[in-house]
Structure 1
Amino acid sequence: MTDELSPRVSPNELGFEGALRPASLEEFVGQTKVRGQLRLLLDAATMQQRTPDHILLAGPPGLGKTTLSMIVATELGKPLHQTSGPAIQHAGDLAAVLSALTPGEVLFIDEIHRMARSAEEMLYLAMEDFRIDIMVGKGAGATSIPLELAPFTLVGATTRSGLLPNPLRDRFGFTAHLEFYDDGELAQVVSRAAALIDFGIAAAGVSEIASRSRGTPRIANRLLRRVRDYSLVHGVPGDEDTVHRALSLYDVDAHGLDRLDREVLRAVVERFGGGPVGLSTLAVSVGEEAETIEAVVEPFLVRTGLLSRTPRGRVATRRGWEYTGIPLPDAL
C-alpha cells in the first residue's frame, strides 16, 4: 500500500466534529445570507464598543447553529458559556448561569425552546435590562432582591422555533433561519474536511458523498469519516468506487435514505396500500417510537417528495411508489 493511495491520519487528530469546526465566518461554508447578516451585526457592535444584540438561530439539526455560536464568541474575542434548554429546569438554574457571566460574554443555550417556563420568564428581564429578581423567603415574608448582571449576548438555538413563546422570540434582536445546503455547498464542506484530516479523496467521491448527505453538513462529515475508515482498513484509495462500497456497507443509498427511511416508506406502500396511515400505526409496523418517525424520518421523506402528510395520515407520493419499485395501482 503506497502513501499516495493510503489515507494519512494525523497522530494529533482531535475529536472529529470539533476538529472540523470553522473558526471564523470566512471559513464557514454555506448560509451566505446569514453570514452576511451576522458580519454586519458583529462589526457594528465592535465599532460602537457595545455588546451585540441577542441572536436566535433556527433551523434543522446539523446545519451549524452551535458552530456559529462559537464563531460569534471568537469574532468578538469573548469567552463562550454553553448550556442547553433541558438543563435549565428551574429559575435558580438560570440565575446561577447568568450571575457567573463576565462582561461581554456570549451565552449559548441550545434547544432553548425546552427551557422551563419559570426560567423563560426570568430570562425576559435579563435579556432586556441585564438584571434578575431573586425571591428570598416564602409566603408573606418573601422579598424580591434585584441582581445586576454583566452585559452579555445570548445566542439561542432551536430546531422548533414555533414552540418559542412570542415574548421570548421578540426579545432577540436578530433571528437567523438556517437552510439546508445544496450539493455544491456540501461538496465544499466535504473537500474542506478531507483536507483537514489529510485524506485524499477524488472529486467524484466528494460529489457522491455530498449527494447522499441530505443537505446537512453534519451528515456529510459523518459519511466522510465512514469512507475514510473503509479506505484505511481495506487499503484502497478514496475514489468513487470506495465511496459506493463504504456507504453501501452502512445502508446509505444513492438518495441518502438509510435502512429506517426505506422501512417506513415500504411500510406505507406495501402494508397500507400507499396510505393514509396514522403515525402510531406506522411506528408500530416498523418497530420504532412514533417520536423517532416524526422527528427523524418524516422530515427528509417529505422534503424529498417521497411522503406526504395529510389530515388523515401519511401518504406515499407517486415518487415514493416509484422509489420502492412497486407499480402504482390504477385506482391511485
Structure 2
Amino acid sequence: MSDAFPGNADRDAPHDPAAPEDESELAVEGALRPGSLAEFVGQQKVRGQLQLLLDAARIQQRPPDHILLSGPPGLGKTTLAMIVAYESGRPLRLSSGPAIQHAGDLAALLSSLVPGEVLFIDEIHRMARSAEEMLYLAMEDFRIDIMVGKGAGATSIPLDLAPFTLVGATTRSGLLPNPLRDRFGFTAHLEYYEPDELERVIARSANMLGVEVPPAARDEIARRSRGTPRIANRLLRRVRDYVIVHGDQSTTSSTSTRGAAGGRAATESDVHAALDLYDVDAIGLDRLDRAVLDAVVRRFRGGPVGLSTLAVTVGEEAETIESVVEPYLVRIGFLGRTPRGRIATPEAYAHLRVPQPGEAAIFDDL
C-alpha cells in the first residue's frame, strides 16, 4: 500500500516501468494512502497486532512502544507509520537512514522532537553505525550523550529527550544489528498480497481516481502487480491514462460502461493494451526482468552465470540485478541462486517459450 501506499524510492525499490516521474505523480500516490487501520487493505495479522498496541497505549495514556516494520518495498510500511501517528493523535516526523550519516544528524533530529511525537525512519538499516549506537540509549532511556571536545579533554554531556515513538522501516532486517532490533517493542513483517487483496486495493483506488474498473480488468491488473499494492496502483494509473487518451465516449453512452469521471470504463482489453505498451507482461515481468531471464536462458544456456557477468550482459549494475530483479524472479521460481552463479529453472524456459537443452521445440504450435 505504499501506493495507496508509496514508500520512499531508493535503490532497494522494485524496478517499476510505471514509476512516478514527477511531483504530481507522487502527490497522487499520497492521496491514495489509507488514513486508518480500518481502511488499510491486507496484512490482517499485522493490523490486529498494531491495533492492540495502539489501544493499550491510549488506555494507559503513554506513547506506543517502538515499532519495526520489515518487508519488501511497496507493501505499506510508510503508510502504517502514518496511521500509527494518526490513530495515536500524535505528530509525525519523517526521515530516512541514508539522511542520517553522522551521530550529530541523529542528535539534532531527536532533540527537536516534541513529547509523544512519532519518528519514522525509512530504510533504517542504512543509518551510520555511530548513529545506530546513539539510538540504542535514546530508544531505551530517552537520553543521548553528546561528546564535547576531543582527545583527553573530551567530555560527555547527557541530554534528556522528550518521550517519543520510533517507527523503523527496513527492506533488509538482517542488516540491523541485534542490539537495535531488540529495542523495538513490536516487530512486524509485511507479506506480499494475495490477488483478491490487490483487487480490493485497486477497487478503492479506482473509486478515488474516478475511473470505473470492472472485476475482469481489476483481476488482470492484480495478476501483473507482483503482489505489491504500490505497483498495482501505478499500473492502474497507466490504465486510467490509456482510457482517457483512447476512450471513445460516443460509443459508450450506457451508464453501465461509463466511469465515474464521465469517460468509459476500463475494459480487460484496455488493461492488456496499456500494460503491453509499458512492457509489463502477463505475470508482471518488465523489460529488465525479461532481459535478465533471456540472458541466462539463451546466452548462457541456463547457467550457472556469475552476477557480474550477467550485469555486463544486460547493461545494468550488479547491485541493481541483485536487489531489484532477482528477488521477484527467485520468488516466482524462474531463477535459482547457487554457489557457482545464477541458473534458470524449467519454468523460466516455459515462460520464454524456449526448449530446454536436449528438449524438442514444442512451442511453435502452442
TM-score using structure 1 length: 0.95
Match of 2:319 in 1: 291
Q: Residue 328 of structure 2 aligns to which amino acid in structure 1? A: F
Match of 1:190 in 2: 202
Q: Does 1:220 align with 2:248?
A: no
Distance 1:179 1:83 in 2: 23
Cα offset, 1:304, TM superposition? 0.5
Q: Does 1:280 align with 2:292?
A: no
Distance 1:118 1:50 in 2: 29
Match of 1:240 in 2: 268
Match of 2:126 in 1: 114
Distance 2:164 2:115 in 1: 6
Match of 1:263 in 2: 291
Distance 1:109 1:225 in 2: 28
Distance 2:40 2:331 in 1: 25
Q: Does 1:136 align with 2:148?
A: yes
Q: Does 1:124 align with 2:136?
A: yes
Q: SS of the residue aligned with 2:95?
A: strand
Q: Residue 242 of structure 1 aligns to which amino acid in structure 2? A: D
Match of 2:342 in 1: 314
Q: Calculate percent identity across the aligned residue pairs.
A: 76
Distance 1:14 1:137 in 2: 44
When residues 188 and 159 of structure 1 are mapped into structure 2, their CA distance, relative to the original with a 3 A threshold, is: same
Matches within 5 A, 1:1-332: 15-236=27-248, 237=264, 238-330=266-358
How many residue pairs end up in the alignment? 320
Distance 2:352 2:99 in 1: 42
Q: Which runs of 4+ in 1 moved over 3 A?
A: none
Q: Residue 189 of structure 1 aligns to which amino acid in structure 2? A: V
When residues 291 and 51 of structure 1 are mapped into structure 2, their CA distance, relative to the original with a 3 A threshold, is: same
Q: Residue 317 of structure 2 aligns to which amino acid in structure 1? A: E
Cα offset, 1:261, TM superposition? 0.6
Q: Are the equivalent residues in 2 in contact too, given 1:13–1:197 (CA < 8 A)?
A: no
Q: Cα RMSD (Å) of the superposition? A: 1.3
Cα offset, 1:52, TM superposition? 1.1
When residues 14 and 157 of structure 1 are mapped into structure 2, their CA distance, relative to the original with a 3 A threshold, is: closer
Match of 1:9 in 2: none
Q: SS of the residue aligned with 1:60?
A: coil
Distance 1:156 1:14 in 2: 22
Q: Are the equivalent residues in 2 in contact too, given 1:13–1:19 (CA < 8 A)?
A: no
Distance 1:142 1:263 in 2: 56
Q: SS of the residue aligned with 2:40?
A: coil
Q: Residue 213 of structure 1 aligns to which amino acid in structure 2? A: S
TM-score using structure 2 length: 0.86
Distance 1:311 1:142 in 2: 49
Cα offset, 1:230, TM superposition? 0.6
Distance 1:139 1:226 in 2: 59
Distance 2:214 2:56 in 1: 42
Unmatched 5+ residue regions in structure 1? 1-11
Q: Residue 18 of structure 1 aligns to which amino acid in structure 2? A: G
Cα offset, 1:14, TM superposition? 8.3
